[in-house]
Structure 1
Amino acid sequence: MSELAAPRPGPRLTLPRIAGYAERPESEEGKLDRLGRKLIGLGVARTAGLRRHGLSAILTETAQHEAALRPLTDAELRAAAEALRAPLRLAIAQGLPDAKMLGPAFALLREAAERTLGMRHYDVQLLGAFAMLRGAVAEMRTGEGKTLCATLASCTMALAGVPVHVITVNDYLALRDRDLMRPLYDFLGLSTGVVQAGQQEPERAAIYRADIVFGANKEIAFDYLRDRMVLRRNPGNLRRKVERLSAEGPGAVLRMRGLHFALIDEADSVLIDEARTPLVISGSTDVARNQDPGFLRRALRAARQLDEGKDYRIHPNEHRIEITPKGAERLEIMGEYGSGPFRVGVIRDHAVVQALSALHLFHRDNDYVVRDGKVQIVDENTGRIQEDRSWSEGLHQMIELKEDVELTEPRATLSRISYQRVFRRYQRLAGMTGTASDAAWELYSVYGLGVIRIPPHKGDRRRFARDRIFASEAAKCRAIAARTAELHDTGTPVLIGTRSVGASERISAELALAGIAHQLLNAVQDADEAAVVALAGQRGAVTVATNMAGRGTDIKLAPGVAELGGLHVLLTVRHDSRRVDRQLEGRCGRQGDPGRVERMLSLEDELLGSKGARWNRRAARLLRPLGPGVAALAFRARQRRVERMHGRMRHDLLAADRGLGSLLALSGEAE
């Protein structure tokens, strides 16, 4: 056909370009893949301190551009930021950016921060941000200015057009971090939003349209799970793009734009500690309504009639109850005399196991508190109350029956996913924390995140005393009161770290008997958290706190306190994880300040209290006459064992979640 005879193409009709819901597709990993990742993770964990040497190029590249930026007016500096958007977008699109690409951006952000915040990024903060933009977790000591460091990474990605989620461990820190750094974001023309509990859906969706979104890990993860529920009803990316052209499509009700880039503060807490519990969205269903109060009360009575060891076994380390064959026979006999659902073996046995768990595995003022006539869950990692959260599958109602409070409506699971699967779906993931090296292997083997240890801006001046070990909890509490009185008389501020609400209140009572004025900070007394923490570094201050004081809080020394030796941190237990201990230890000695750390333990501490710890408990009792340092080895050995057990639980949860996802994938979506 001649060129003249060829039909001329008409104007092309195209649909408007609409971005799909961004997330990394979940890859199928075989056993060899997982084994290889674990082996590489061992090497990454052992080289966390050495790998920082590969970051030093960013310091040279940043310094080369600083001199040219100082004479610029504010308007010219903003124009320079706009000019960086295109090259940054290209650099990020090509993969992991190198120092040459990021140097101009870091220099500009450093200059802008000095003008708007009166703070200049230290070299170690440049190293930390560079590590995060290279897809790693930066381990930076407490007090090294991680909030300011995060602005380098978040602003760089936002200028490149990548939606950013800055994830913290609670609502208070999310709002605080955004407000502290907001002048810098506003100067650069970057919009910000803060996700907080209680926001309505339209408000939440508008917040997620901001360039940089701050939020607690639970809020953001649950919003993603809610979006998945919507997307599950509308599978297929092409279909969703077409439907979003109308208000009737799922785009009208989706909260998020997807999972583009997450920068996680306290990354080990979010990615490791929280990962033992799946995220579950529950609701009222016909199945849940069938679990009426009469049935639940009958199951609780049956549980109380069973004998431990004979009818059931408690596995406290794994946090589960096992019904023995004899117990199953007794329940079957009880069912013959029952009625309704109690006659159905599967339903009855499950309810009785939940009742036994409520009686023996969940304890008041430790796992939950009763406030305003309601059972409210306490987060064991943060010490904070989890408002509007409840246990599923009838467990919450069993605990309410145990505590004789008004029953809430039973809930049934509508959707669930593990933390691991949520964060593995971010297209880019990074984090920072003060205690990542202890979890470096798991961070890499699960999330592909290497750990890079960043050196402190100033040297560590903390002093550590030897552990003291007492025979009983009562003797330990008396010793804590005596030691606190001794320090209080010198004017030294004291922070006493406890594990649970109950423990904090026992120590508070002991201090009151000794006539020592103090502040109590736990899940029950949490209204003035920021004010209490701010005063903990004042001369003569005594603060008793649960883990609430351990993550993200800032305790500054009052004038004259440094000359007294700084803040004295007194730990009253070893936690299940060494990282939690290190966080509390890190409350003192910030930015080169002096500080002291002391630990007082007892043979009745919860770490040694379970049945699985009997050998460690015996070893500690036998070794105690040889000195507290020797006996403390039994505590640390038990702690390591619990850490390994929790690691297996997280692995099992991820494996089960994968298996469930594979089964449900037949319906079109994994969740």
Structure 2
Amino acid sequence: MSDVGYPNRRIRLPRIVNYAEAPERTETELDRAWAWVQGAFVSQGARWRALKLRPILWAIWRYKRRYAKMTDVELKAAVRPLRIKLRRKRRGNHLPVWAAGEAFALIREVSVRTLGKRHYNVQVLGAWAMMKGQIAEMRTGEGKTLCATLAVAAIALSGRQVHVMTVNDYLAERDAEETAPIYDFLGLTRAVVLEGQDGPTRQAAYLQEIVYATNKEIAFDYLRDRAILRRAPGNLQRKVDKLVPGGGPTEELRLQGLPFAIIDEADSVLIDEARTPLIISGAGALEGSIPEYVYHAAMDAAKSMTSGVHYKIPRGIKRVEILDAGFDYLEDLTEDCEDSFGIPVIRDHSVLQALNALHIFNLGDAYIVKDDKVQIVDENTGRTMPDRTWSDGLHQMVELKEGLEMSQTNETLSRMTYQRFFRRYTQIGGMTGTAQDAAWELWSVYRLAVVKIPTNKRYIRKTDTDRVFRTADAKWKAITKRVKALNKKGQPVLIGTRSITASQEASKRLTAAGLEHQVLSADQDADEAAIVAQAGQPGQIMVATNMAGRGTDIKLGEGVAKMGGLAVILSERHDSRRVDRQLEGRCGRQGEPGRFEAWLSLEDDLMTGPDAARLRRVAYGVSFLGSRATGRFIRARQRRTEAAHAQMRRDLMRQDRALGDTMAFSGQLE
């Protein structure tokens, strides 16, 4: 309806907010229990919610012909009145469907003229789901990067800043560069926040309407801002401070707040990474920190302890627990010790971290050694994180284990969980290829519903039954034989591994068989996209860890489609089924042919450890029944591990709430 003829109609101005963020959500135990129950029902409505998105397609149809007839000059001129209309029609975080449809129609036309790509209807549905604060599950290869431009541009045109989060710096920079022509045509400002940028550069970036960055960079910048804002926590207080000469924080804030977040690989960011709290440490050694000789004494003591007697590793949890007999052993060991190592609190903690370093954190899996430094490997992406360190002395223990010079311990200045951080955004939307498996948790923790978006083309990828072997040696022999057969007819193969160590084993086997191949792992990710993009060429053999070129489009070479497309071989199941599904998505994209095969063994990492011993023995006993029967035990182990990880995330949230209550009582927010 036009506003002409209504001179007395009041124009609703947006609320001026100095630092946008949602208020802390207060929940009772009853509220959390009810949300958990709700999640069981909400997780089942993913397909039904996709049907409810259909009106956006009709809304676009009303406007698409109008914009298609315009010249480029006329199309650019149409942006300003659309901006005004969207800002006036916006109610809080939401736009009416017809207003969003008009914005989508214009953005879609701009995309055709600048990139030569028109958004498919399924991409429109995915974008509308994100704008409504939902998680769009779209199969790998459905064009999520282009899909996001509809939501991102429409949000920015409606007057809200938007943070577009990706899983690594490369994808953030690539996506921002690829989509820049659309935003430039629309007159929207944009920037990229990357690791290593200085403060002024980041401040300038966060002033733009669209900001591309990794979740880690934004989260740590927010934590830094929180440390500054402790003295002026309220929105009104900060406005008053700016009016008073010399008032307010002396340091400049980096962010403008937490407005609207569009998250790529949402399940990985919101679920998998949520097990690790965000911690900012101060530079320099912590005053009163543990002396170096204590680390050496603790490591010697840990090496002398016996598994099952002095300590145990609980099922599905990557940490060591010291048993009563272990504490007695340590007490006897330090009976005549009069230095710091003789203090029970310091001794027990140090030995526990030494045990974790020895038995949980393994070289080539949890970390690599590069330039005489321990570099942590992100278990979800397979990438190294050179600027990250483990806390509470664990990093120093790993360095000692590897015979490296120990770094200094740092003071923890600020700490927060990912769950609390993302719940402070005024609104969140996301996309991923594997959200349905985590739908329950996404709702119960973040109140985010999953929408299952249909594929643009018919899905024809073939998935074979799991092949399970008793030993790892038998598995690798079978994989090598299978790869050799596929390579003989020219079909490309991508072998997915769980760790760098497994990649090295695969490479050794292929080399012995005389098969030329490429290995992609955490310590050579600079050229990752260029390497993975070639995985679909005839005769190509590639070995890759879990990262496997997320976000990279693998195009099939000439004649490969007739051979059956790219063959993906999973050599070991991950702790999470969703990570396995990400690897599956490397083939059979956009209606192309492809093949997925899983070759497993009862000696894989998932089936090792004292907590899996009983299940492994039973699996050995029924192995004569074939792979189908044995494979069920591996699936069962995977489900148990996923449940254990979910429990760890709930425990972390519970601890975070308790810590938050304590900090609020003492006057410190984070």
Equivalent in 26, 30, 33 of residue 32 of structure 1: 30
Q: Does 1:74 align with 2:66?
A: no
2:510 is matched with 511
Task: Please give the residue correspondences for 1:457-536 in structure 2 after superposition, counting only pairs within 5 Å.
Answer: 457-536=456-535
Residue 299 of structure 1: aligned partner: 298
Instruction: Encode CA deviations 1:562-611: one digit per residue, 9 max, x unaligned.
Output: 11110000000111111111110010011100000011001101111122
Cα 1:312/1:615, change in 2 over 3 Å: closer
Q: What TM-score comes out, normalization by structure 2 length? A: 0.95
1:255-289 deviations in whole A, cap 9, x for unaligned? 11000000000000000000111111112466455
Q: Contact 1:168 / 1:215 at 8 angstroms: preserved in 2?
A: yes
Q: Considering only aligned residues, what root-mean-square deviation do their CA atoms show, in Å? A: 1.6
Q: Give SS of 2:557's match.
A: coil
**What is the distance in 1 between the residues matched to 2:315 and 2:286?**
29
| Separation in 1, partners of 2:315, 2:625 | 30
SS in 2 for 1:588: coil
| Aligned mates of 1:647, 1:551 — CA distance in 2 | 24
Deviations 1:126-154 (A, max 9, x none): 11111111110001111111000100110
Alpha-carbon distance in structure 2 between the residues aligned to 1:338 and 1:186: 69
SS of the equivalent of 1:410 reads: coil
**Structure 1 segment 52-91 matched on structure 2, within 5 A:** 52-91=50-89
2:253 is equivalent to residue 257 of structure 1: no
Report the Cα distance in structure 2 between the residues aligned to 1:577 and 1:353, rounded to whole angstroms.
27
CA contact (8 A) 1:613 1:638 kept: yes
Query: After superposition, what is the alpha-carbon deviation per residue over 1:154-208, rounded to whole angstroms, capped at 9, x for unaligned?
Result: 0011011111000011111101111110110111111111111111111111111
The alignment's TM-score, normalised by the length of structure 1, stands at 0.95
**Alignment deviations for residues 6-54 of structure 1 (CA, whole Å, 9 cap, x no partner):** xxxxxxxxxxx97321111112111221122112211111111121111
Distance in 2, matches of 1:244 and 1:385, equals 41
In structure 2, what is the Cα distance between the partners aligned to 1:251 and 1:19? 20
- Paired position in structure 1 for 2:7: none
* Match of residue 540 from structure 2: 541
* CA deviation string 1:55-109 (max 9, x = no partner): 1111111011011111212222122111111221233334432321211101000
CA distance in 1, matches of 2:238, 2:666: 17
Judged with a 3 Å threshold, the aligned counterparts in structure 2 of structure 1 residues 591 and 251 are, in CA distance, closer, same or farther, namely: farther
CA contact (8 A) 1:37 1:445 kept: yes
* Structure 2 residue runs without a partner (length 5+): 1-14
Paired residue for 1:42, among 40, 43, 48? 40
Equivalent pairs counted in the alignment come to 655
Q: Is this contact kept in 2: 1:243–1:249, CA < 8 A?
A: yes
Partner of residue 209, structure 2: 211
Letter in 1 for 2:617: R
2:105 alignment counterpart: 107
In 1, Cα distance between the equivalents of 2:247 and 2:391? Answer: 32
Residue 202 of structure 1 aligns to a residue whose secondary structure is helix
CA distance in 2, matches of 1:608, 1:134: 41
- Show CA shifts across 1:399-446 (max 9, x none): 000000111111232211111110011001110001101110100110
Is contact 2:660–2:669 with CA below 8 Å preserved after alignment? yes
Distance (Å, rounded) in 2 between the aligned partners of 1:103 and 1:179: 25
Which residue matches 1:147? 145
Deviation at 1:375, TM superposition (A): 0.7
Question: Secondary structure of 1:290's match?
Answer: coil
- Give the Cα–Cα distance (whole angstroms) in 2 for the partners of residues 260 and 290 of structure 1: 39
Does the CA contact (< 8 Å) of 1:58 and 1:103 recur in 2? yes
Corresponding residue number in structure 1 for 2:427: 428
Greater shift, 190-199 or 472-481, is seen at 472-481
Paired with 1:462 and 1:641, the residues of 2 have a C-alpha distance of: 28
- Displacement of 1:369 in angstroms is 0.5
- State the SS of the aligned residue for 2:547: helix
Deviation at 1:252, TM superposition (A): 4.5
2: CA distance between counterparts of 1:44 and 1:527? 40
2:506 maps to a residue whose letter is: I
1:11 is matched with: none
Give the alignment of 1:309-324 within 5 angstroms: 309-315=308-314, 317-324=316-323
| Counterparts in 2 of 1:201 and 1:479: CA distance versus 1, 3 Å | same
* Cα distance in 2 for residues equivalent to 1:233 and 1:486: 67
Give the corresponding residue for 2:615: 616
Once residues 251 and 21 of structure 2 are traced to their aligned partners in structure 1, the CA distance between those partners, rounded to angstroms, is 19
SS in 2 for 1:320: coil
1:163 maps to 2:164: no
Which amino acid is the alignment partner of residue 92 of structure 1? R
In structure 2, relative to structure 1, the CA distance for the partners of 1:289 and 1:552 (3 Å cut) is farther
